[in-house]
Structure formats: C-alpha cells, structure tokens
Amino acid sequence: MYTMCTIIAKNYIAFARTLVQSFLEHHPNGKAYVLLADESEGLLDGHEKDFEWVHLKDIGLPEWPSLRFQYGITEFSTAVKPFLLEYLLSVRGEEHVVYFDPDILITQRMDDFFQELPEYTIVLTPHILTPLPDDGQKPEEIDLLKSGVYNLGFIAVTRKDETFRMLRWWKERLLRYCLMDPAKGYHVDQRWMDLVPAMYESVRIWKDPGYNAAYWNLHERPIVNNGGMYEVGGRPLTFYHFSGFSADLSVISKHQTRFQWRHAPDLLGLFRDYLARLTLNGYAKTAGWRYAYHYFDNGIVIPAIAREVYRKIGASQVFGNPFSTLTPHGFYLWLFAPMSLSGRIPRLLKEIYDIRVDLQRLFPDPTGGSRHGLMTWARTFVPMEYGVDPIVWNPVLDSMGG
C-alpha cells in the first residue's frame, strides 16, 4: 500500500483535501494521514472521507505546550514532522511513508518511485539540478544555500533502523533549533537535511525533474500541457509544489521575481485547475480560520519577540503553561511586569533594549536619565515594530508612569 502524510493548521484544510484527493486519484488503493498542528476549535468535525486525522497528543511530543508556544506557525508545523514520521512507522506500522507539504498537487502515478523506495532509508529531492542564472532575480543560488540543498516539502522514509536513528537525531535538533532565521543559519527543519547524506546510509537523492517542480526550478523545468497531460522536458510532471501560492493568481509565487505568467502560459492552466480544486474543497470558507497557538488564552496575539524571549530564557522550566495569562508568576505576567522596583520599565522592553544597539546609543541610561525617552519611544514603536497589541502595551506603560 502506498502511504502519504501531511501537516496542517486548520486554515489549510482545503489544501490538505486537495493534496490527498490528487494522491488517491492516481493511487486509489493508497492511504493518507493528516496531522493537525493546531486546535480544531469546533471548526473541524473530525471526519474526513479521504484521510485519517492524527493529533498532537498521538505523536509523543515532549513538553508540547512549551513547543507550540516557542515556535510560530511555520516553525511548529515543521518541527513536528519527524515525530509524525516516526509515529507512522513505529506505532501505525507503516513500512514506507511519503510526506508532502499540503500545497502540492499530484499529477501522475508514482509506481517507479514506490517500487524503489524499500531499497532506501530516506529519499530527498534537491531544489535545483542545474545552475540558476546569475542575474539578480529571485531566487538565486545564495537563497538556496540559505534555505538548504533539499526541499523538505517532500521526504520519503522506510522502516529501517537507520531511518529511526536519523529521525531521533532530527527530532532532537528541531526541539530547539527549528527556527526561520536564515541570517543565523536556520531554515526551520530544512537546513538540517543537508547533513543527512553524509551522516546516514542508503540516502537516495531523487533527481527526476517531474518530482517537486516549483518556482525555484522553473528555469530548468518549463511546464508544458501536452494533450491534457502536464510534462517537464518531455517527461510526465509527477507533482507540482505551489509554494508561495496566491489565490488571485497574480504571481507564480510570492517568493520569486524570475518568472511571470507570460513566460509560463501552460503553467497558468495548472494553477487555474489547482485553484478550482481548492475552491471545491472550501478554500473561501476556511482560509481565514485562525491558528489557535497564535494567541494567549485572553485572545491577545503572541508577538514573535515574546516567543524569542521565551526560547532565550528557557522559560518552559520556570513558568508552566506559557499561554496562560492569569497564572501567578506565569510568563505573561512576567513579560509585562517591571524589570525591578528600582528600574520601572517592562521586562519585554528591557529584552528589546538589550538586542538593539541603536536604542542603547539613544538611551544610554534606560532606568535612569534616559528612561522617559525610552518609554516614549516604546509607546509608539514596540507595537509598530514588534506587533505587541496596544490594548495590552499602553496600560502596561501607564502603570509604570511611562
């Protein structure tokens, strides 16, 4: 049996349905799992005819309230990937599992791939197979060096001891380092895969250009509609990855500048078909559903800087449930409390100040003579630059005479 899986927040349910349906169209005896890296909040009824739900409680996350707080939506959804793969291999007893990002459409059967898969522990696809033009357009090769050699919108694994060793290593890294911070060498789960072919045996680099075609490799993979069948270089297109998809079809991808629709007229037909499928699967209704872990339990958005501070201080060992806003000595109250009795600026502001050389130069004595200027700056610019809700922030400053 051919088995696939994907991971979504609930606003991506239309993408998951579309992906799974396209997989089953070409593999009618296949099986599909979807991990909900979110809370349903009564919006999903738990029953889907084409796939089986997997929930976070099933996959063995350690300290999972902490993990879902310390990461944003993309980071968390990718951090749980090796946990899902291990669960499907070890608990559900699957022999082979292929992971697809939800924004993928399967357009051909994958028989040759699945027949070869048992020979390998892990299968990866490179972003590109030939050099990109050095013309200043995006993406360029430096962008791919920052994001990783392999695109982790696709990975396949086989139930072998070597696979479990790789998954254990990958899980350990993603518990702390599944960050979207290319300047520091992180691209969520993806950069870690650059090390895998060197560290583990029987890793296959799958170079069929019909697999994982996307905006980053269109320079080498022009999509052609040949009598209703999409092809790449005269070979069938097996699946296309709609990374950076925009529902108004104004661009091929919001992440690239290299190609416009006039360069890829047949690709536009594929995008129109994909949008029609998404629409039938409820895209208009579901795309705006909120991500539960984007909010404290009082409904206030968790700013990225709060997650960064939480990771920095190892707060999971100190504060208990980080989403709770009423817990005495909890993270929320700590974050917005004064740094000390003598230095009445919010701890969050002090954390921002400590990483901003420009603020240190402008306000050299933040708890003394420069305090008023820093607090005045903070009232306007902390909400603007860091996304801290003024509904919370302004009363915090008022309480400290700022």
* Averaged pLDDT, 281-286: 98
Shared-domain flag, residues 344 and 231: no
**Residues 270 and 240 sit within 8 Å (Cβ to Cβ):** yes
Shared-domain flag, residues 72 and 194: yes
Number of structural domains in the chain: 2
**β-pairing verdict for 122-124 and 154-158:** antiparallel
Shared-domain flag, residues 161 and 257: yes
Largest CA distance in the chain: 76
Q: Provide the 10 A C-beta neighbour count for residue 293.
A: 19
* Averaged pLDDT, 12-39: 98
Instruction: Look at residues 217, 252, 286 and tell me which one is the last residue of a structural domain.
Output: 286
Shared-domain flag, residues 270 and 122: yes
Q: What is the pLDDT of residue 317?
A: 66
Q: Which residues, 6+ apart, have CB-to-CB distance to 231 below 8 Å?
A: 223, 224, 225, 237
End-to-end Cα separation, the chain, in angstroms: 64
- The predicted-structure confidence for 29-77, as pLDDT tens digits, reads as follows 999 999 999 999 999 987 899 999 999 999 999 877 899 999 999 999 9
Residue 315 belongs to what domain range? Answer: 295-399
Shared-domain flag, residues 103 and 223: yes
Interhelix angle for 304-312 vs 347-354, to 10°? 80
Tokens representing residue 161 in the block: 């001891």
**Residues 387 and 303 sit within 8 Å (Cβ to Cβ):** yes
Shared-domain flag, residues 275 and 362: no
Query: Is pLDDT above 90 for 314?
Result: no
- The predicted-structure confidence for 155-174, as pLDDT tens digits, reads as follows 999 999 999 999 999 999 99
Distance, in Å, from the CA atom of 95 to the CA atom of 379, rounded to the nearest integer, reads 56
Shared-domain flag, residues 15 and 91: yes
DSSP class per residue in 291-324: PGGGB-TTS-B--HHHHHHHHHTTGGGTSS-TT-
Distance, in Å, from the CA atom of 297 to the CA atom of 26, rounded to the nearest integer, reads 43
Instruction: Look at residues 263, 286, 309 and tell me which one is the last residue of a structural domain.
Output: 286
Residue 15 φ/ψ, nearest 5 degrees: -65, -45
Shared-domain flag, residues 316 and 266: no
Shared-domain flag, residues 176 and 311: no
Shared-domain flag, residues 37 and 175: yes
**Residues 35 and 6 sit within 8 Å (Cβ to Cβ):** yes
Query: Is pLDDT above 90 for 144?
Result: yes
- The predicted-structure confidence for 214-250, as pLDDT tens digits, reads as follows 999 999 999 999 999 999 989 999 999 999 999 999 9
What is the domain-level CATH number for residue 233? 3.90.550.10
- The length of the chain is 402
Shared-domain flag, residues 73 and 174: yes
Q: What is the CA radius of gyration of the chain?
A: 23
Distance, in Å, from the CA atom of 285 to the CA atom of 272, rounded to the nearest integer, reads 19
DSSP class per residue in 354-393: HT-HHHHHH-S-TTTTTHHHHHHHHHHHHHHHH---HHHH
* Averaged pLDDT, 242-262: 97
Instruction: Look at residues 286, 313, 335 and tell me which one is the last residue of a structural domain.
Output: 286
339: pLDDT confidence band, cut at 50, 70 and 90? confident
373: pLDDT confidence band, cut at 50, 70 and 90? very high
Shared-domain flag, residues 102 and 196: yes
- Among the listed residues 344, 341, 343, 320, the one whose alpha carbon sits nearest the alpha carbon of residue 331: 320
